[in-house]
Every structure is written in C-alpha cells, then in structure tokens.
A and B are shown apart, each in its own frame.
Chain A
Amino acid sequence: MCITLHNSQELFAPMRYSAFSVITQALRGHTGWTPAWRKAEPAPHYDVVIIGGGGGGLATAYYLARHHNVGRIAVLEKGWLGNGSIGRNTTIIRSNYGLPGNIPFYELSMKLWEGLEQDINYNAMVSQRGIFNIYHNDAQRDSYARRGNAMLLHGVDAELLDSARLRREIPYLDYENARFPIHGALVQRRAGTARHDAVAWGYARAADKLGVDIIENCEVTGIDIENGAVKGVQTTRGAITVGKVGIAVAGASSLVGAMAGLRLPIESHALQAFVTEGLKPLIDNVITFGAGHFYISQSDKGGLVFGGDIDGYNSYAARGNLPTVEDVCEGGIALMPMLGRARLLRSWGGIMDMTMDGSPIIDKTPVGNLFFNGGWCYGGFKATPASGFCFAHLIAREEPHAVAAAYRLDRFAEGRLIDEKGAGAQPNLH
C-alpha cells in the first residue's frame, strides 16, 4: 500500500503535542493550551461538505485535506462532535475478516491505525494487544481456520491456537466446567483497542489544522438537488451551497439519505455496550466468546468494556432492553467465571445502521455529486481510518478505492453480497 502525501499546507498552527509541550505547559499552569479545533462558523459555500462529525466524517475530512486537492471542506455535525457511534462503542480494532470483499479494507484500516498517532499527532492509545476469538467445536475451528487462512493469504496476521496453547496464554477462561467446551482460538496479534473519543478528537484537530471547518451544532435539514445533482444543503445554521456532499452519519443514514430521496438496504438497530468499575489489570487482550454473544477488553483506566448482540429490533431510541443485558452477562460469566463479582458500572445504547448483508456501503449514489458512506453494522469503529481514507478517495476521484470496491450500493440488487455470517437479508442476524 502506498499513501502519498498531498502538498497541503498546514493552514492553522496550533501547538504541537509532545512530552515537551506537556512539561512546559505544566510549568506555566497550562495557560497556553489552545482549543483542539476551531469553533468554525459555516461559510456560504464549500467545495466538499461532509455530513456527520463522527469518526467516519472527521477521518474523511482529514484524508481529503491531506491527500486530495478538493478545495474548501466542511464537516457539519448536528450535535457535539463525536457523539454518535465513535463515542459509544467497545473500542475494538481488528482486521480478522474472512471474505475477500472485507479483508483488504479492514487491513488498510489496521495499517492506518498503526501509524495514526504519529500521523495526526494525537495519542489515541492504539493498543495492539491481540484479539482471541474462542472456538468451541470442530466445525467452528474449521470455519475460523478458513478465516485465518484467508487473512494470511491477504497478508494479515493470524494464528490458530489449540486449547492447551490458549490456556497457557489466557488461563482464566472456563476450561473445566463449560457448557460448550473451549477448544482453542483464532488470534490476530495486531488487533487490539483504541481510545474511541480520542480518535474523533485527534482527527478533528488534525483536519482543523489543515483548514477543514468543523461546524458543531449544525444539523442538516435538507439536501438541495437540481437536475439530478446536489447543489446545496439546508442546515439549522443556514443554507450552504456545495460542490460535493458526502454522507457519513452512522445511526441516521436512512434519515439523511431520505432527504436526497435515497431508499437504502439499511435498518437501524440499538446495540448496548457495557463497562464495569475500574479494576487493576485483569484482562490483557480482546476476547470474544464463540458460544454466545460476548466480547470484552479492559480499558487502560481499568474498566472492563464489553458487549454482545444487538437488541434485535429497529430503534432510534438509544436505549437497550433488559433481556439483552442478561444475555450478554450470561455469556460473560460462562466464559470467565471470575467476572461474577465484577460490577457493571454503566451501559449505553448506540444506533447501528445494519445492512442487509452485514457489510458497509461506500459508494456514489444515483444523485450526482452525492456520496454515501454507511451501514457499518457493528464494525464502524475499527473501520474509521479506512472508512475515511476510502471515502475521501471516492469523493475526490469519483471512483472507488481498490480495497473498498466491493462496498457498492448495487451489490444487493445484483446479489454480490458480502455476508460474513451467511445470515441473509435480515439485519438483526448480522
């Protein structure tokens, strides 16, 4: 992969973050820190408007400004920056996918994660602590082997551990008394976690530095279309004329899409995430249960961050249900009986735009100069860098980036689905 840096100037010059700047500011009582990003006011015209100030939108704006010469860029955010999925997920990053439509894309994302902090000068705490997908029977082992082999063929790291080896690495799983015995794990060592909010803030700060206007509390209320092409957007802070518009509004894709007359292969569902009270280091990796819906890691602050299945029905209320909470915790205790006395501190719900095959969409739309990025299902956070990178590429060059070429909108009509789970056109099963 080759990433070339476009000759964009750094238009704004806030201080660079470093150990030195932290120390000097500490000695000056922190009086010199400037805002991480400007509170930009909307201008009457932009060459590119990105709707959605979440991870995808901010990353898109950053990579557009960094690698493409597209003129003036704005990110319009309805509320506060990063309030959607980027700020309410379980922070896992990985590229352990099984299908050729997905692997190169998520691997590009992984590579971007690996250089992200130095690239954007922001510590997003990318922690490559490894993900362990536990398997419980021969069929599951073979299906993980298929995936692991596919990953290796794509140049992604993968290991298949048997139960003895897994037990040496992760001794505290229920190896003795499990309803579904633990037979081993598929491991991606380069996978891990990142501090989700910091990803949004870091991209925002870096994009702002390259001159992108990040406009918070600016809700798009309409998309103006003339002769089949986008001409502008209506917002709560006035009308803006545009060259191109990119939609990156996870959780509201259908709602914003409808403003441009799009009908999408998406349903919006609630996914709950959970965190326990802070604990001393206990779980050093990301671990997923293969016999139930449960995945877990421990934040650097000490909380065990975990999640499970989506709640199972369409929702625009970011509110979970109790049976799912119980189901997730049952999975947790079944896998790690030591968690019985850990206490759930907080749970929250986010809205997932679930597509009909469980894979995302990054494509042009039938409307001219209108581009769509969405349908991230559970996978939006880990995809953030590549999502932005490929969406920027698409918007700037009007052709898909090679690794995102499968994420077409017409794949549903044509039957070229990217269905990792084989669940079919029922979003709540993906």
Chain B
Amino acid sequence: MRIPCPHCGPRGLDEFLYTQDASAARPKDGGAAPTEEWTDYVYMRENARGPRREYWYHSAGCHAWLIVTRDVSSHEILSVDLP
C-alpha cells in the first residue's frame, strides 16, 4: 500500500502507522460526558466492509496525522486529508 501524504507525496506503507478509526470524535465535554459515550469512543467500532476513515501517522516522514479514507475490502486509498 502507498499513501499519498499531502506534505511528502506518495510514500510506502513502512513510513506510516495506523492507530484508529477516525469516524468517531472524542466526546467534547471531556470528563463530564456520559460513560456510554466514552465507552463507544474508546472501545466500540463499526468495523464494516468498504470505505472507512482512519487515522494514520506519518511516523517516518513529516509526523503529520492524516485522515485516510480507505476501502478495507480492497485496500484502495480513496482520499487523504489533514485533520
């Protein structure tokens, strides 16, 4: 897989790290948000087939966090955005 980094251009997979699903936002009201909301954010995943928004870190490159929209069934990269 190669990811087109908006800063660096297309780079090989070994430069990047995937961490998590980017579809859910961190609950805005911090510690006060209900536990269910936090549980959902921290632990629960849709994990469906098809396109998915993910956080990738260009660790061996510019250190940018990228939102990569990627089809998890085909590994096709549909778009790469900055957060």
Contacts and interface: CB of A to CB of B under 8 A. Distances in A.
Interface residues of B, number: 28
Secondary structure call for the B interface? mixed
Given A413-B39, A425-B42, A428-B18, A314 B47 contact: yes
Given A312-B17, A312-B18, A413-B39, A317 B46 contact: no
Most buried by B among A255, A258, A313, A413: A313
Given A319-B75, A412-B39, A413-B36, A264 B45 contact: yes
B14 interface: yes
A115 interface: no
B25 to A, nearest CB: 16
B43 A425 contact: yes
A131 to B, nearest CB: 29
Contacts of B35: 413
Interface string A256-282: 001000011111100000000000000
Nearest to B18: A313
A132 to B, nearest CB: 29
Interface in B39-60: 39-40, 42-49, 52, 54
Interface in A380-430: 412-413, 425-426, 428
B1 A321 contact: yes
A44 interface: no
25 contacts: A255-B47, A258-B46, A258-B48, A263-B40, A263-B45, A263-B46, A265-B45, A267-B45, A312-B18, A313-B54, A313-B70, A314-B72, A316-B73, A317-B72, A319-B75, A321-B1, A323-B12, A323-B13, A356-B42, A412-B42, A412-B43, A413-B36, A413-B39, A426-B19, A428-B18
- Top 5 closest pairs, chain A to chain B, by CB: A254-B47, A313-B18, A323-B14, A412-B43, A265-B43
